[in-house]
Structure 1
Amino acid sequence: MKFFVDTANLNEIREAHDLGVLDGVTTNPSLMAKEGIKGYDAVMAHYKAICEIVDGDISAEVIATDYEGMISEGENLAQLHPNIVVKVPMTKDGVKAIRYFSQKGIKTNCTLVFSAGQALLAAKAGATYVSPFVGRLDDVATDGLQLIEQIVGIYANYGYQTQVLAASVRHVMHLVQCAEIGADVVTCPLNVITGLLNHPLTDIGLAKFLADHKKVNA
């Protein structure tokens, strides 16, 4: 499984990279705004800065909702760096844009996916990644993990190369369960990834080792 960090914060990206397990980054306009990144030139420069840190796919989201606008924005984004993946919403025009980008050899991430049918359309259009939102489905009393499992199964049935990128992953158990059911990628905040480090028995064991060492070497 690949680990992507879902942020536009350069310090968090560096920390995740230095941990040695980071495979990529996902971003969106909300995350950019959270970091105070405003204006076209500033956003483009920020994407370039992320690409300088991470040797992996970087999802950069289009703002346009119409086909022509998505194509224009997506081509500009793709020109920034070979690792840029154009993030496109699951809409009719979005699916058309994914097909266009696929034919041009531009990587895509179909976002805001909430059903297996949507994921099937994205794969048939040639999406590189499809992003089902686990946590947001849980918020409306729907099993987000079940959707991940369903999409993984459908893609396996027909040999689709589209990677299942589990998004809106909010805690460690979400991440582990996504791994169990075969998601190709998980994207989440840094604290979810570092949360995998934690277990009380590890802390207790380490404390005992250090205490025993201190006794022997007193």
Structure 2
Amino acid sequence: MEYLFDTVNISDIRKYMDIYPITGITSNPSIIFQHGKIDFFTHFREIRDLIGLKRTMHIQVVSQDTDGILKDAETILEQIDDQVYIKIPVTEQGLKAIRILKQKKINVTGTAIYTKVQALTALESGADYVALYYNRMENMDIDPCDVISTTAKMIQSYNYATKILGASFKNIGQVIKAFESGAHAVTVLPSVLHAALSLPDIQRAVDDFRSDWSSIYGNASISDLNH
């Protein structure tokens, strides 16, 4: 399993990357819009310096035609670094661009995927990751678990190297269902993971353990007992 952060908020990345076992960062124009205007190239270079080259960074193009997509990709790779995964919406123009970039051995993530045919054609076009939009599928009355499981079966049956990247999550329950359905990775807002581990019952259990310990040893910690 892989966990990625779906954010460009450098403060959140810095705060939570030492807590959660993240393997990368994803973004898209809507994520940037929610954060506010950034100095695009400088901002992503700062994120790269923070997360290092061992973690993946996925940056989305904004052009919609193949030539424009390729120009966006070239600029991202030149101005940030050549290890970036270029996120490309899986449209006809996007599929064409994915195939061209993969011929050049450039990292690609197919994104904005709602349907099986999008996922399967992205697999055959060579995408390294396919980003399936879980919550958005649910909102469209499409079963995201069915789309994920079908994609996972095709990857296994035909030995594709592509990984399924679950995206568009509103809660941790959706994240778990995506993994159970066959997703290899998920990208989430740090707040989704934070909320999942901030349940009152979890803290209550921790407090009860401390209370029981204190009734025997007072305020001493285990390390204090070694003195």
TM-score by shorter chain over 0.5: yes
**TM-score for both structures, normalised by structure 2:** 0.89
CA apart distance, 1:89? 0.9
| CA deviations over 1:101-123 (Å, ceiling 9, x no partner) | 10111101111111111111111
Matches of residues 203-218 of structure 1 in structure 2 within 5 Å?
Answer: 203-218=203-218
**Selected match of 1:51 from 24, 48, 54:** 48
In the alignment, structure 1 residue 78 sits paired with structure 2 residue 77: yes
Could you tell me which amino acid in structure 2 is paired with residue 179 of structure 1?
F
Give the secondary-structure state (helix, strand or coil) at the position aligned to 1:142: coil
> Rg larger in 1 or in 2?
2
User: CA separation in 1, counterparts of 2:210 and 2:104?
Assistant: 58
User: CA separation in 1, counterparts of 2:116 and 2:195?
Assistant: 29
| CA deviations over 1:162-201 (Å, ceiling 9, x no partner) | 1100111221111112222221110111122223424555
**TM-score for both structures, normalised by structure 1:** 0.92
| CA deviations over 1:30-60 (Å, ceiling 9, x no partner) | 221222225xxx2111111111111311111
Give the secondary-structure state (helix, strand or coil) at the position aligned to 1:4: strand
Could you tell me which amino acid in structure 2 is paired with residue 75 of structure 1?
E
Matches of residues 1-218 of structure 1 in structure 2 within 5 Å?
Answer: 1-38=1-38, 42-55=39-52, 56-79=55-78, 80-198=80-198, 201-218=201-218
Give the secondary-structure state (helix, strand or coil) at the position aligned to 1:18: coil
User: CA separation in 2, counterparts of 1:194 and 1:82?
Assistant: 32
| CA deviations over 1:4-51 (Å, ceiling 9, x no partner) | 11111111111221114111111011221222225xxx2111111111
Could you tell me which amino acid in structure 1 is paired with residue 47 of structure 2?
I
**Between 106-115 and 82-91, the greater mean CA deviation after superposition:** 82-91
User: CA separation in 2, counterparts of 1:104 and 1:217?
Assistant: 64
User: CA separation in 2, counterparts of 1:37 and 1:51?
Assistant: 18
User: CA separation in 2, counterparts of 1:50 and 1:36?
Assistant: 16
Give the secondary-structure state (helix, strand or coil) at the position aligned to 1:19: coil
Give the secondary-structure state (helix, strand or coil) at the position aligned to 2:160: coil
- Provide runs of 4+ in structure 1 moved above 3 Å: 198-202
User: CA separation in 1, counterparts of 2:32 and 2:201?
Assistant: 38
User: CA separation in 2, counterparts of 1:199 and 1:30?
Assistant: 29
Q: Percent same amino acid among aligned pairs?
A: 27
Do 1:78 and 1:106's aligned partners in 2 also have CA atoms closer than 8 Å? no
CA apart distance, 1:85? 0.7
Q: Output the aligned Cα RMSD.
A: 1.6
The runs of 5 or more residues in structure 1 that have no matched partner are none
